[in-house]
Structure 1
């Protein structure tokens, strides 16, 4: 959705924008502060985190194993198991499929012979504009990973589908994007 379409949708929903100010920006993230009038007439404030689109990929091997990555997530101070995912801050207009194939190769070294778009999701729609594209990757071939410096500590692990589900049940996988992507893929009958 374009910025103009989003602004129009807000206005049609009864929000009046009094002012909008960019308060912070780096290559990955911008933060905007909107002063608004809610549909009920009360003044309010929205801090909006603006980020480019991302892709999240569930790599499933022919034998049913699932590839996960683990990395230290600085904001929460923990290492998390996740599906491969990411965004290209230098190419926010990249096609979702190219982004997915690139992130999969970059983080895991896997090349996908088949990539199925399973849907979209928003990461934190209450505070962020970031939209994600969910993919199932199959017909995988392993090659060398091409990680960025920020991914140097990344661990890649193939687990059985049963182990993957056990990790969810026992709280070892807590990444909401991974869990939501898995739910979309499963609900659509792709696995």
Structure 2
């Protein structure tokens, strides 16, 4: 199979602890050339935690959109190299909610924004939950946890209360696998 876009060269435009932005010179299928900007970030985990028919979500202020957002617990450990996805999922769940999963199963994968980013996420389903101590990061100081019946989460998605694309995708994967 021939790639529709071939990389001719690449240059690093910007880099910090959380991301790298590169600009690639490319050749398209028709032979024309151009540039493509790619945002590189570490892979992430998103977790669908459920106990007694209730899903646990977190709400926090998301600076880029200037709003508080309800979403499943999720995140990445940018400061670490290769991270075991299961360890990342368990760690993010505990950090953001204080919950510890007795059972944690990967149910799918998603791309954060395949049109401009290489970041990939793994979707996990967490059950047999026990309470622990949350350890939020500095940006998560205002985070709060809520639990909702599956029908309430569906209504929140339909009503535009939940607008986080990864949360909606993870919910859909769990629903389509008949886990919810």
Structure 2 stretches lacking a partner, 5+ long: none
State the Cα distance separating 1:90 from its structure 2 match. 1.6
TM-score of the two chains, using structure 2 as the length reference? 0.96
CA contact (8 A) 1:53 1:92 kept: no
Q: Which has the higher strand share?
A: 2
For 1:6, the equivalent position in structure 2 comes to none
For 1:174, the equivalent position in structure 2 comes to 163
- Distance in 1 separating the partners of 2:134 and 2:44: 19
Confirm whether residue 58 of structure 1 aligns to residue 48 of structure 2.
yes
- Distance in 1 separating the partners of 2:100 and 2:147: 15
- For the aligned residue pairs, the C-alpha RMSD in angstroms reads 1.2
TM-score of the two chains, using structure 1 as the length reference? 0.91
For 2:59, the equivalent position in structure 1 comes to 70
- Distance in 1 separating the partners of 2:82 and 2:177: 27
- Distance in 1 separating the partners of 2:115 and 2:56: 30
Structure 1 stretches lacking a partner, 5+ long: 1-8
SS in 2 for 1:91: coil
Q: Which has the higher helix share?
A: 1
CA contact (8 A) 1:70 1:81 kept: yes
SS in 1 for 2:142: coil
Q: Deviations over 1:105-140 (max 9, x none)?
A: 000000000111101111100100000000010000
- Distance in 1 separating the partners of 2:4 and 2:54: 48
Runs of 4 or more above 6 Å deviation: none
